[in-house]
Amino acid sequence: MYKTVLITGASRGIGRAIACAFAREGCRLVINCSHSEKELLALADELRETCHVDVLTSIGDVSDYTYMEQLFSQSEARFGGIDILVNNAGISHIGLLEDMTIDEWNRIIGVNLTSVFSASKLALPHMIHQKSGKILNISSIWGNVGASCEVAYSACKGGINSFTRALAKELAPSNIQVNAIACGVIDTEMNSCFSEEERAQLAEEIPAGRFGAPEEVASLAVQITTGNDYLTGQIITLDGGYL
């Protein structure tokens, strides 16, 4: 039976690479982003053509619960439910906490953390009914150890880590596995704020000597969510030995 995979934030970067990896496995896809419609539609066309898979695209903000309800009802109408949920959409915020406004705080919590609650909650009725399912959350090493000038982002990812461990316990009796990948520095637009010099300096601090590739996150995502039903509640760090 073909699996249906929902990936939030799939227009570029890690989410895009995860969508490509699942398409190569022959999975049906639901892919989302909030702004980059052209890129998302182009990705869907590419995957239909090269991997011969069915792809549903949806534009909307994952922090908006009403939109998330629509996304899941559309997915159910088309595919009958989500078997693998990848909570990937995320934004960063760099700056001192004392300079952060309450609106900026609420925005990052909404996009990075509340979205994980919403998507997981809405995916569950189908997964519980079929007594199987996988939830994979894309987290960060900063959720493990905290980063200066990224307090809100670290709080979101730390929240995701605890959410992952707790929900895994709640859902293990229903044969639903919940895990997270805590990424180190991955070469995507999220890190486009660094100059060439800063990139080189940062790469030098990483024992592997380089940033990770989105494809490396994607292959781990497929590995975690296919096959092993005894793996649950884990925060798996992928950081080239950085921390």
Q: Does 114 bind ligand NAP (CB under 6 A)?
A: no
C-beta of 174: minimal distance to ligand NAP in Å? 26
**Of residues 131 and 208, the one with the C-beta less far from ligand NAP:** 208
* Distances, alpha carbon 144 to alpha carbons 141, 156, 167, 224, 240, in Å: 5, 11, 18, 19, 15
Binding mask 20-49 for ligand NAP (x = CB under 6 A): ------------xxxxx-------------
Smallest CA-to-CA distance from 137 within 85, 83, 67 is with 85
Q: Does 138 bind ligand NAP (CB under 6 A)?
A: yes
CA distance 1 to 4: 10
Active-site choice (2, 67, 153, 242): 153
Q: Are the C-beta atoms of 239 and 183 separated by less than 8 Å?
A: yes
Q: Does 130 bind ligand NAP (CB under 6 A)?
A: no
Q: Does 183 bind ligand NAP (CB under 6 A)?
A: yes
E-only strand ranges, the chain: 4-7, 28-33, 55-59, 84-87, 133-140, 176-183, 235-238
C-beta of 172: minimal distance to ligand NAP in Å? 25
Which residue in this structure is represented by tokens 């995502």? Answer: 221
**Of residues 11 and 177, the one with the C-beta less far from ligand NAP:** 11
Active site (annotated) includes residue 153? yes
Residues catalogued as catalytic: 153
